[in-house]
Structure 1
Amino acid sequence: MKFERRDIVLILGIFLVVLGITQYVPFHYSALIGILLYFGIKLYVEKRHQSITNSIGDGLCIDCGSRIIANKCSKCDYSQE
C-alpha cells in the first residue's frame, strides 16, 4: 500500500468521522475506529485494483471491449477468420 494524493481526502474524511463519534465514545476508541477504517478502505481499494488489473490482461479491444489475450481479441479476431 503506497500513499497517493487522493489519500489526503480519505484521511480528512475519516478525521471528520472520528470527530463526530467522539461525542458518543471516548477519543481513544474513536481514534482506533478511524485507524481501522483507513486501513480497511485502503486494503479494499488495493484488492479491487488488483482484481481489475488481472481481469484486463493485455488490454481491452477497442471495437467490442472484450479482453485481449496473446495480442488477439477473443470475439473480433476469431469472427473474421
Structure 2
Amino acid sequence: MKFEKRDIVLIVGLFLFMIGLMPFMAPIYAAIIVTLMYFGIKFYVGKRKQSITREIGEGICLECGAKIVETKCPNCDYAKE
C-alpha cells in the first residue's frame, strides 16, 4: 500500500466524515473508525487492482477486447491463420 496523489482526496473525505461523526460519539472513537475505513478502502482497492492486472495479463486486443496470450489474440490472430 503505497501513498498516491489521490489518497489526499480520500484522507480529506474521511476527515470530513470524522467531523460529522463527532456529535454522535467521542472523537477518539470517530478517529478509530475513520482509520479503519482508510485501511479497509486501501486494502480493497489494492486487491481490486491485483484482480484486474491478473485478468488483463499481457494486454487487451484493440480489435475484439480479448485477453492477449503469448503475444497473440486468441480470437483475431488464430482466425487469420
* Coarse TM-score class (shorter-chain normalised): over 0.9
Cα distance per residue 1:1-28 (max 9 Å; x no partner) = 0000100000000000000011101101
Alignment of 1:59-70 (within 5 A): 59-70=59-70
Cα distance per residue 1:36-80 (max 9 Å; x no partner) = 000000000000001001100111101001000001101111111
* Structural RMSD (CA): 0.6
2:34 matched residue in structure 1 = 34
1:5 matched residue in structure 2 = 5
Q: How does the TM-score come out when normalised to structure 2?
A: 0.97
Q: How does the TM-score come out when normalised to structure 1?
A: 0.97
Q: Which amino acid aligns with 1:56?
A: I
Q: Answer 1 or 2: which has greater strand percent.
A: 1
Alignment of 1:39-78 (within 5 A): 39-78=39-78
Q: Which amino acid aligns with 2:9?
A: V
The number of aligned residues is 81
Indicate the percent of aligned positions where both proteins have the same amino acid.
54
Runs of 4+ in 1 over 6 A off after TM superposition: none
